[in-house]
Amino acid sequence: MKFHTVDIQADFLAVVNDALNGKIDEETIWVRVDGRSLRIAVKSGADGAGYRCVEDPAVTFAQVSARRFELALAPGAERVVLRPPKAYLFADADAGASINCVAVSAEHAVAVTGDSNGTLSSFSLDRDSVRLARRLRLADAHMSDVTAVLIFPSGSVALSAGLDYTIKIWSLADGSCPRTMRGAQKGRITAVSLVGARGRNFVSASLDGSACIWECGSAQCAHTFRRVRKPQDPVLSLAVQDYQPAAPAPEMSHSPEDSGLFFECAGKRLFCGHGSGTVTVWDLGRRTFAGEVQAAESGEADSLGGVNAIAVAGRESIVVGFEKKAVVRCFDLGACGAGDKISSRLRWEVAMGNAEGEQEIKKLEISGDTVVCLSTDEFVTLNISDGSANEYFVGYDSVLNDFSISGGNIFACGKEGLLLEY
């Protein structure tokens, strides 16, 4: 199925609701599909809102549920599913600040954001109000932009990474910072990921070519991974996969001194996306190399850029996105030879947006049988089996930077304090 470039009037849902409530008789909204601009007349009626394309009567637009609309450019043509926000959340962001990252725990009804002023904020998710109740605001949590945030399984502790090369752990109860991690990585921190259900360890990636396992209790770097063939190859992204080796191994360490620094690492693999277009794979329990996936072939590395995003789909496959072109690829994984070394096979590829312009895949995450994908210009879900687009997220008119999936909902953030719930 073809990938479409879709844009629609950001407040179109307000026009639809006005028609449903009889506040307007008829009003037009605009939509663009693959560069084609159309006007859709929304008309109030006894049986609800009616829709008509002003330019082309063969184009159909219909509401199929409270939060889904379908657009077809011709009779019998593929229907493009548009998904507007469930809510526009208001978080009283600092004036002019861009929300760079967001993490949400629906279980604990808490959201954490980091912005371009170095401020970390946490909010209570109140289902009776679209305005988030601020729990704490930590100005100057980092000396520059906050680039990543995570919420620990307890819901009472958060982790943040910043452009100041530091990673910090925060109490969401009182805003104290009991741990600061710095020094082990000499380049910008590009990604962080928790290891295990308790979160005693986490992994960080850096432009200096390293991926580090950290132990939270001691704030100590317990182990560092680097590519042997190219030790300085920048690590742009990472993901942790639950994987039980053919011959399960106990927790292992390289010396008695670090034996108490690893928790829930056995049976897990670490995938590191590099600037060269290579994905290295490591066994976290053994701290050993498990193979490489050539996400971009040698002739593609310059045009596609590095592996900017990774998501793991169970034990069988990974999905990767690139930093210079909005291209997403899914690889099936297998084991071959001694030591369960990784083998890979390309299952599908999707190219988004303008093939000539430089765009990036900002984030990928697996949710059920879909891949939620955020690029420079697009926010969509892709079918994990073949890469076809399931839904196009709409209803925003600013640049999106990050998203978080929790409790069956998707929370997205962006410039000018933008925070949405789908």
Whether pLDDT at 407 is above 70: yes
Last residue of a domain, one of 58, 83, 108: 83
d(CA 286, CA 269): 10
Q: Looking at the structure, do residues 30 and 52 belong to the same domain, yes or no?
A: yes
Q: Looking at the structure, do residues 143 and 53 belong to the same domain, yes or no?
A: no
For residue 412 the two structure tokens come to 């997205």
Q: Across all residues in the chain, what is the average pLDDT?
A: 90
pLDDT score, position 325 = 94
| Mean local confidence (pLDDT), 210-220 | 96
Dump pLDDT digits (tens) for 339-393: 457 889 999 999 997 767 789 999 999 999 999 999 999 999 999 999 999 999 9
% of the chain surpassing 90 pLDDT = 76
Last residue of a domain, one of 83, 116, 145: 83
Q: Looking at the structure, do residues 34 and 162 belong to the same domain, yes or no?
A: no
Q: Looking at the structure, do residues 37 and 65 belong to the same domain, yes or no?
A: yes
Residue 117 falls within a domain, yes or no? Answer: yes
- Identity of the amino acid at 320: V
CA dihedral 10, 16, 19, 20 (to 10 degrees): -150
Q: Can you say whether the dihedral through the CA atoms of 63, 64, 65, 71 is positive or negative?
A: negative
| Mean local confidence (pLDDT), 125-152 | 88
Q: Looking at the structure, do residues 55 and 190 belong to the same domain, yes or no?
A: no
pLDDT score, position 127 = 66
pLDDT score, position 258 = 47
Phi-psi region of 66 (alpha: psi -120 to 50; beta: other; left: phi over 0): alpha
Position 282 confidence tier, pLDDT thresholds 50, 70, 90: very high
pLDDT score, position 234 = 98
Q: What CATH number should be reported for the domain holding residue 122?
A: 2.130.10.10
| Least confidently predicted of 11-25, 57-71, 230-244, 332-346 | 332-346
Residue 1 falls within a domain, yes or no? Answer: no
Residue 228 falls within a domain, yes or no? Answer: yes
Last residue of a domain, one of 83, 107, 127: 83
Best CA proximity match to 373, nearest among 349, 338, 395, 354: 349
Tell me the whole-structure pTM to 2 decimals.
0.92
* Start-to-end Cα distance in the chain: 24
Q: Looking at the structure, do residues 91 and 79 belong to the same domain, yes or no?
A: no
pLDDT score, position 343 = 86
Residue 87: strand, helix, or coil: strand
Q: Looking at the structure, do residues 182 and 304 belong to the same domain, yes or no?
A: yes
pLDDT score, position 1 = 59
pLDDT score, position 129 = 66
Whether pLDDT at 250 is above 60: no
pLDDT score, position 133 = 84
Q: Looking at the structure, do residues 60 and 102 belong to the same domain, yes or no?
A: no
Q: How many domains does the chain have?
A: 2
Q: Looking at the structure, do residues 269 and 406 belong to the same domain, yes or no?
A: yes
Position 337 confidence tier, pLDDT thresholds 50, 70, 90: very low
Position 297 confidence tier, pLDDT thresholds 50, 70, 90: confident
Cβ-in-10-Å burial (0-12, 13-18, 19+) of 197 comes to: exposed
Residue 76 falls within a domain, yes or no? Answer: yes
Q: Decide: 40 and 50 in contact? Cβ < 8 Å.
A: no
Q: Looking at the structure, do residues 13 and 102 belong to the same domain, yes or no?
A: no
Residue 132 falls within a domain, yes or no? Answer: yes
What is the H or E stretch that residue 373 is in?
Answer: strand 370-375
Best CA proximity match to 91, nearest among 117, 129, 118, 128: 129
What is the H or E stretch that residue 101 is in?
Answer: strand 99-105
Dump pLDDT digits (tens) for 166-211: 999 999 999 999 999 999 999 999 999 999 889 999 999 999 999 9
Q: Pick the residue with more confidence: 223 or 417?
A: 223
Cβ-in-10-Å burial (0-12, 13-18, 19+) of 294 comes to: middle
Q: Decide: 61 and 40 in contact? Cβ < 8 Å.
A: yes
**Non-local CB neighbours of 235 within 8 Å, separated by 6+ positions:** 190, 191, 205, 206, 207, 209, 210, 211, 272, 273, 274, 275
| Mean local confidence (pLDDT), 314-325 | 93
| Mean local confidence (pLDDT), 204-228 | 96
Q: Looking at the structure, do residues 285 and 340 belong to the same domain, yes or no?
A: yes
Residue 269 falls within a domain, yes or no? Answer: yes
Residue 195: strand, helix, or coil: strand
Q: Looking at the structure, do residues 74 and 139 belong to the same domain, yes or no?
A: no
For 319, the domain range is 87-421
pLDDT score, position 245 = 56
DSSP string, 138-174: ETTSSSS-EEEEEE-TTSSEEEEEETTS-EEEEETTT
Dump pLDDT digits (tens) for 77-113: 889 999 999 988 877 666 678 999 999 999 999 999 9
Q: Decide: 27 and 3 in contact? Cβ < 8 Å.
A: no
Residue 305 falls within a domain, yes or no? Answer: yes
